[in-house]
Structure 1
Amino acid sequence: MGLFSRHWSRIAVTLVPLVLALLHAVGVMKIGVLQRLDDIIYDARLRATMPRTLDDRIVIVDIDEKSLAEVGRWPWSRNRMAEMVNELFDRQKVAVVGFDIVFAEPDDSSGLKRLRQLAGNELKDNPAFGEKLNLLQASLDYDALFAKSLQGRPIVMGYYFTSDREGHTSGALPAPVMDRSTLQGRPIKFTSWNGYGSNIEQLAKAAPIAGFFNPVPDPDGLVRSVPLVAEYKDNYYESLALAMFRILMGSPRVEPGFPQEKWVGRNYQGLDSIRLRLGDKSLAIPVAEGVISLSPFRGPGGPKGGSFKYISAGDLVNGKVPAESLKGKIVLVGTTAPGLQDLRATPAGEVYPGVEVHANLISGFLDNKITVRPDYALGYDVVILLLAGLTLAFGLPLVSATRAVILSVSVIAVVVVLNFWLYADLGLVLPLAAGLVMTITAFALNMGYGYFVESRSKRELAHLFGTYVPPELVDEMAKDPVSYSMTATSKELTVMFCDMRGFTNMSEKMDPTQLQALLNNVFNRLTDIIRGNRGTIDKYMGDCVMAFWGAPVELPNHPHLAVKTSLEMSNAVRKINEEHRAKGLPEIGVGVGLNTGPMCVGDMGSEIRRAYTVIGDAVNLGSRLEGLSKVYGVDIVVSESTRKLANDFAWQELDRVRVKGKKEAVAIFWPVAPLERLEKGTQEELKTWATFLKAYRSQDWDQCDVLLINLQRMNAKKYLYELYSERVASMRLLPFDPEWDGATNFETK
């Protein structure tokens, strides 16, 4: 007890993250980042354990873009849908068909409705017309044809539930699979809606079994689960996947599965499972709060995902699929066409076919492999947090730093291994993030307790900033050390990315020692130029160097310094290549990207490794601009924000671009030279180029061709003019587009 009394303050500090984690776990103070981290852990674990194998029991008939091109735009006429159904059952002999689509409106595409109007009005005195209509109407009633193809067959129609103020409804609902009496008066929380959109009554009568296909997106927008049974006006309806599975199992009765009362009270507001009972046999499908089931994703999804066989609906309707090639298969009819809006964001893929979510569930039902996030996950989380937190709180203060690391790593290992074992062996999805973050935070607080920096000296500044900024800047900072820290702040800075060209070829032809010496020589010279212009080295990334101007020491002319540096670096590379040619070494090139804008600058990273760096959208744009230097055949690409603040240089506008991750187009430029060194011939070339860009953005291709000929005469070796010659030739083939803003889109980084 004496040891604990001496370390009570460290114990108290270590208990702080435990208390916060417990408040999060019990729902008193939800910490969004922990919930998001739990989702990330679940998604990563799911992707790591996906079988990525083909389930040949299930086939998806895909109304894809190819089908729409061959058969016509959606919705197709119901006679074509009847042909599809007859093809599936008569020629292909499938086991069951489920529609992940809804037929909410009558099909008047045959013109029968108008013909009947004519027979009753304008042509009512023409008996021949009426007789002919009587002969034709059976073949023109497409809804009747479709309904006839559905009758007596193992088919599950799809529909959806909605929630809005008015509770809109359309179509006919199927019979519910459960009613409130089966719940024995228990206040079970079902996923519920107040409206629905279902199939027209004619089709609903022909195929009375139907299932809803609503997924349940999580707060981050990802679809991870689907309700198995949902509530609507005190009746309970089954999902599409469950309805199809029940047909395969011989249509067992659906019952609520209650947990044993010795473990939970009678007022427990959840179900343990949904039970399918057929005679004296039953199958329990585990469910979570809301009576939902996590989709056991098999792979990345889509026709190329490898989880399920996809067949183009057009091929099926047009008889291109060999007879009985789908015999005995479970068939889901859905769509991957973007325009039909059934693509979801899931842990297995950002663009995932909604129909495949249901296919995964059916596959999981067949294999009895359904994971569940149980309602008792809260109790599990509390117990783990208490055990781990108290172990750390009373153990860390008593041991050395090395043993504290071992203790913390051991606690993390036990928590992680137990969590993963429960997932892999029992299919339980239990929280992990709070335990991990609590353990790491407790260790960090305990080890860092008592260490507080109240003042900074020149030596501390040198230690913090010496590897990033020139020594003369450190001396300047030391005059007022209180004004400088590594605390993250937002400032307008200029960032540079400089990438070495030809490095891959050199690495293939040179031994590692030679390559290291060459790379070090180049970086030493480029670094000297950056430091000579008061730049801060951010980091070296392989064959790339990143630097910025304006922090930690404020530099009002940081855009000018950055541009000046880039031109000096370009000249230095030319001198290096002259030396390389003399020594028989390979030549190199550089690509530089510059951008000015608001950035977050400060000490960032992990507990293991940190760095004084910049982050932000403006930094990302600078990186993208460096990559564009290869596209335009120049060594430097500068954003418009930098160009506006560096007026003492001559500029050539390269393009207006829309880079990956940015919606707005930005102008990009190449610094030709300082204004005082600009030659007269180059001035004329830049004027001609400005005229060309105006014609280009006006889509005046004839004038563009004339101006490009003149430009290539002025500078025949310039790749930029060759690039735009090719663009003009391509654009000439397209019609005039009044909406075109003249920008070039880049979808890659």
Structure 2
Amino acid sequence: MKQSFLFKPFGVSLILTLLLAAGMFLGGADFLREMELQQLDDRFAFREMTPKPFPKNIVLVEVNNRSVHFEKRWPWDWGKVASMIETIRKAGPKVIALEIPLLHRPDVRKIRKVNKLLASYNEQYPALDKAGLEKAKKRFRYNRKKAKEFFEQQKKIEELRKQLKEVVGTKHPIEALMDVVKKTPQLVLGFRYYKSQADVPGHELIYIKKKNGKKKADKKKAAKKKTAPTATASKTKYYRPKFPIQLFDIGQPSFLLGATEDPAQEAYAFVENPFIAPLAKYHGFQNVVNEPSQILRKVPLFVKHEKKVYPSLALAAYIAARDKRIPKRIVGAGGYISLELGSTSIPLTQKGEMWLNFYGTFNRLPPAQKILAGDVLTGKNSNAEDINTQVALDVKQKTVLVGLSSSRMARTFQTPFRKALSSLEIHATALGNLEEREALRRDSMTKYIEVGLLVILGLLLGGLLMKLRFVGGFFALVILIALLNFVDRYYIFPQGMWLHLLYIQLSLFVVYLMANMIRAVTGDKVVRLIEGRFKEKLSEEDFQKVISQPEVLAQKGAWKHASVVSGSAMPFGSALNEEMGGPGALRLVSQFAAPVSEAILRNKGLLNGISADSFQGVFGAPFKRDDHMELACQAALQVRFAWEGFLGHWHQEELPDPGLAIAVDSGPVLIGDAGNEKRFIYTAAGAPLEHSEMLQTLGRQYQCQILVSAAVSEALRERGRFLVRELDWVRFQDNQAAMSIFELLGERGASQIPAEAVEWYEQGLAHYRGRRFQEAANHFQELLRVRPNDGPAQVMLQRAQHYIHYPPSFQWDGAWKAGGM
């Protein structure tokens, strides 16, 4: 009956869980990467309805369609850009980060047009000098009306000329922008980079330009030889300029584990305004790269060019807000490891990318944190009902991101949300993650947590499968997976930790399937063995427990406190003869054996043995029960009741009257498998079994049907459920101490024996032990008048009458020697 631990559900779960956990730790979950990313998107999509609070120290100034409509053009004139920056600067922000491009040429057409108009105006209407004024006075001295009209016209001409000169004298837009940049020390300018020469548009090159001299030389050489320019010459289109790149870099990282080179993305060329860029203290690249799945989930923080590393716009703004304190970067042999932000470590990909911990779609951002650029220029709040309402520019000691948010002008990126996010919103998300130090974590610590969760849940599932079968185990699996998802969504993921739950869920499903499959193969064999040899020995409830816990039968001996009921009917087997016929005799035997076994099993006993004229049941095994004594007595009473019905069938066969003797004892009983490897013998042994056999013999001598030991009687009297009376003191050997024997009459209240009969017997017994035999005989006779068939009273009356005529010796202690008289 013994089953190997490895084939039990818990053993199978333990082995599979450890193997799957080892595979997870060694990177075995990479084949589920796309599905894990989809699960990650589903978690973020939940934030579209309940956004994560955005940092209050970050304000967005958006250039959208309404802001463009304000100027009727895009890009804006640099003078307007300068005016917007100046307005924000006066509000006292901590950092201003520009995500808008400054690569276009300033609009000087208006100034040239005014210059041309002024020149034409001066030519057509020259200014009058002193001589000209005298000449005009002489000309109109006789016509005062025309003189007045002439001088008024001249006055208007001079006023218009003055206005034109003021326009011409206005500061150049690039000068205005340069002045604002100089006044704003914490300004971060955005720039773009290109990965390869093929990506570079020639008209935007600043640090790479055409090599016209080389191109002309190739043309002359080709004309001389009357051949076409070589392919090599046409490919050599750009070259590096001699002037250095004047952008903010963040130095070298900290190298670990033998790493010697920064693994950041290599940039081929930068694009930035050569007049404005050198004036700014901080610079950051604006590039945001989509993943192959076209869903943006991470952003690069670094780019490398000519052995220098430059930060992203979000990282540059983070550094500017901390007065140029550059965070430490950790690089290992395989690539980037982390970005150290104070005491917090932000895990990075090998190329230096940061997983974004999205806040939402920015639609529910408070108005104070999302301002239109057009409103900044006009000072009016275009969203207010009153058009004269002033815009609230609350940016003091905050980081202001200025950029494009219109889908017509800005680049938009597909994210886990239904609404695409602009590059400005992507940079704002990255900056918010850096400020809160809560980027999406996917590092070695999360792997340890995943392995721990897999081991704990796998073992828990294995423990549940020890108790539950296929359907119950499936519901347990579903509950564990639902609990795992609940804890992740509301406790783990809000902390910025990304766990690969799909691998854990699939692992639990594999554990569930394999444990049930192995149980179906090995467990069914055990079940069939138990059914064949054990089903008729236990009640249905206990049998199902044994099926789920077959190891209880494999014990090679366990001491348990149990109660034993044994009984026999004599003469019974000897009364059967060949004249009755085989079928008839067996039918008569079954009418006794079937009710007896049913009584034992109905009261959750173990049928330890049954034959044609005897039976034995053990209560409190194989499972512990606190009420085993009461169950044993109840079974004994039911057997006695069944015996009365059996006697009717027995008398029909005209057979000699048999007598039923039942004994109940309690104590330590040895329970277990007493067989060997080839034979399973589950049985019980111990003193209570021997005592019950002895009590059966006494039951026949005292002509009563149910005897119980002193231990059982004491327990029954404490609980008060059953009616018990003491019969006598009995000694089996001369040198042994006498023991008390008791008769079980029935359940209190249900027994047909009056309580006075019990009292009369006990009083008669007391007189008997006090050597007052005449008084004892009187009490027993009174009892027999009430109960003529009281067997113990008849026996004790005979003894009392005998001792009246033949008193016992003075050494007599009131005990009766079994087998005497």
Q: TM-score range by the shorter chain?
A: 0.3 to 0.5
Could you say which structure has the greater relative contact order, defined with CA pairs below 8 angstroms and 6 or more residues apart?
2
Over alpha carbons, which structure has the higher Rg?
Answer: 2
- What is the TM-score with the length of structure 1 in the denominator? 0.48
- What is the TM-score with the length of structure 2 in the denominator? 0.44
